[in-house]
Each structure stands twice: as C-alpha cells, then as structure tokens.
A and B are shown apart, each in its own frame.
Chain A
C-alpha cells in the first residue's frame, strides 16, 4: 500500500515483478538499474543463490521526481518464481500498488505461466485484492529466442492464455536485450500512479 505523507507531499509506492521461475523478472530489474541511472536512488539488492536464481527478492528504489506536486518514489521488487517459494512471494507481495507479470515465451513454459498467474491471483485475493482491480501489465519475454530456432509461443497464443479476461496492456519483448523493458515499466507506473491519484486524491 502506498505511503502518502500529506505534509511533505511525498508518495512511495511498490511495484512487484511477478511470474514463473526463470522468466526474466530479475533481468528486467537489472536492465532498469543499468539504463535508468538518473532515476535510481539506491543500490539494487538481489538476494539470490546459486549465482542467478532469486531466493528471496530483488529490490530497486527509484525516484520519479515531482508529479502533480508530489515527490514520487517507487520501489521495484521481484519475487522468487520457483513453486516452492510461495510463502516468500506472498510476503513480498504485501502492500503492492502495481504489478508487472513477466511471462516466458518459450513453448515449454506455457503451463508455468498460467500457474504463476493463478498463484498471483490467489495471493492477491488473500490480501483482499482483486487481480482485475490492481494496476497490472503483462510482458511476454524472451521473444529473441524465436530467432534462434527455439520453439516460442505466438503473442496471440499468449494473449489468449493470459490476457483474455484481464485485457491489460501487454508488451512482447526481450529483457536480456532490453527490448520494451522501459516501456513495460512506464506503462505500469502510469497505471499505478493513476490508480493512486484516484485513491489518494493528491492533486495540487
């Protein structure tokens, strides 16, 4: 839940990158950390193990400057994607204001995408949140692997699997190459701030 300091006119909100294991959530944050240096207000912290698998979460603080008279800060988190870390995912999800669901375009990961989205819906529900009401953006990651001859799903297929009912903005990209990473985040921020503005009515 966003922290809103009326006196100081500061807002701090939380965006969580969710999705199946190895789908590219951490890669998204790493790219953002590397590319949007001006907006980064602290270090990126990754609590991982075995070199590259997120065990607990990644964290990246950003500052967006003044928006409608309020200083806006954003905290980006990722969750561990593997099935066995369900309780950690729920913990990190607490107080979420906006979500990026990073789906894996590989055909072999189709079921994992859907299970992860269902897991997200369940965890949100346990916090009294409805997935249809939380600012959410989908990213269809790893599109670059199609060029290497590896079977990937079409965007249309992924839209049918994941976005048929949600009907949220979606971006087909490649986090490892940085394709559409920025756009995904910007859209999520736009939706989140719009929602917060409506909720908190912070306009000057």
Chain B
C-alpha cells in the first residue's frame, strides 16, 4: 500500500477510535501516523499534517489528565442522583427505616458523596440504635475528605457532650486512632473519663456496638469448600450477631458448621473497612416455608475482632 494510503487509513482509524472515546487506541494510531510522516520527506503538507496530529495527541493527553483528576475526587452529584443512590442501595427497607437510612448513607459514602453522607449520618447519630455506627462513619467521612483535624475536633466535641456512653466513646476513640494517620494527631485523643473496661465489659461492648457488616468471609477447613474463603451476604445484623441466608444448593458447604463451632480468621466486610475476627455459630436451621424454603439460616456471633 502506498505510504499516503497507509497514513490515510491509520488516521481514519484514529479518528474513529477518538470518536468512540477509545483515547488510548486513538493516541496510538496518531503516533503511528506521526512516525510514518516524520520518517518520510515525500509526504505532501507534511508540516500541516504533523501539526494537526500533534494537536490531537495534546487534546487526548489533556483529557486524560482531567479523567485522572475526576477519578481521584468523585464529583458531587445532584440531589436527585443522591436520593436515587440512597433508595437503590439500601436493602433493609422491609425491616427497618433506620437501617435503610443507614445503608443509604453508607452507599453515599461509598460513591464518594462524603458531604451528603455526613449530613445523613448526623441525622442518624440522634438515634440510639445506630449512634455509634453513625459516629464512626462521620469520622470516616472527615478523614476521606482529608479533614483529619475535623475528625479529631468532632471526637473531642463528643467527649465533652453527653451524647455517648463511656463505652461508646471508647469504641469511637479506638476506631479513630486506628484510621487516622499518626501525623494528624497533634496530641493523644482524650480518653473518656471512666475506669478501663473489664474483659467482661469489653465483651459486652463488642455485643452492643458494632460497625455495619455487609458480608462475611468464612474460611472452610473441611467439606467441598475446604481451603477456600466463601463470602456470604449478611441478611440481618443485630449488634455482633450476624444472620446469613445460605442457598439450599450450597448447604453442603456449611454441613460441618454445627452450633457451637468456633471459627477463626473470619473476614468482615463493612462499607468502610475490611477486618478480621473470630466468631461462633450460634444458630443453624433450614427454612421450612416461604420463598426461601429449603435455604439455610446461619447465625454467627462475633466474639472478637
């Protein structure tokens, strides 16, 4: 094929990829054409062609920079989009409006809508049932917004207020310490004014306040899933008690999980963190009727994290 025709074909391809938004592919083709033109003095309007190609490549590179910036900081969405996210990504509407509101707020945070999520969590913090989870998510949002100082300030305000119990504050303090960069702490966080919790109280504390866990990874040491970690969605959570629904066809996987079985190295997936822990199977039954008939209900009590 004559050089001129080759260049023309390559440029046509580049233009099409450009029009399709396939910018990496377009850039590659432009560069290919550029190399061909630069390698030959015979090409008509050589300088003009090269100038045009150079502009196209520069345009693509500028676009790439913008995309990278967008990826780094999620743009703030419209009110309508945020309401949609809250509605579509809360799965507990049937069970509890508050649980659904919490899931909606967490979904906003997951989509990078931290300012809006903060507003929602600040409403939820007034509800006793979700106070601590909301508080931790508030701090998490501040940290995600690169406002570690705001997170620390918020925590100190809570210490001064009487909104939280001592146990709740301690849980929040530990959470903040674990999640904030050390250099952001000018001085140690204020500890709630109370004696250190005893082991028994710590256990009770684990039972009462627990971050929202959306799914759990269970390592299997026997059975068909031996050596694997299988993730199950949490159907319902009450404190440190997680209820899972395991489809009937996967019943053989959990065959060896009897009531009382202790499981170490559990993986807990929450909206804002993944963490490990241990638990014990507290209940296991097969559903006798309804749409989930035949499926298994498995309750796991978290004993440590």
Residue numbers of A with Cβ under 8 A of B are 1, 3-4, 6, 21-22, 45, 47, 49-50, 52-53, 55-56, 59, 75, 82, 84-85, 87-88, 91, 94-95, 106, 108-109, 125-128, 145, 148-151, 199-202
Contact = CB atoms under 8 A, between A and B. Distances in A.
B290 A150 contact: no
A152 to B, nearest CB: 11
Tell me if A's interface is mostly helix, strand, loop or mixed. mixed
A53 B63 CA distance: 12
A199 B71 CA distance: 39
Nearest to B295: A199
B120 to A, nearest CB: 17
A200 B66 contact: no
Contacts of A125: 231
Interface of B: 9, 12-13, 16-17, 20-22, 25, 63, 66-67, 70-71, 74-75, 77, 80-81, 84-85, 88-89, 91, 94, 107, 110-111, 215, 230-233, 247, 250, 290-291, 293
A26 to B, nearest CB: 11
Top-9 shortest CB links A-B: A22-B21, A108-B25, A4-B291, A200-B291, A84-B71, A47-B81, A128-B231, A126-B231, A150-B16
Contact of B111 (A1, A6, A82, A88): A88
Contacts of B77: 47, 56
B214 to A, nearest CB: 8
B16 A145 contact: yes
Contacts of B25: 106, 108-109
A199 B292 CA distance: 8
Contacts of A94: 89, 91, 233
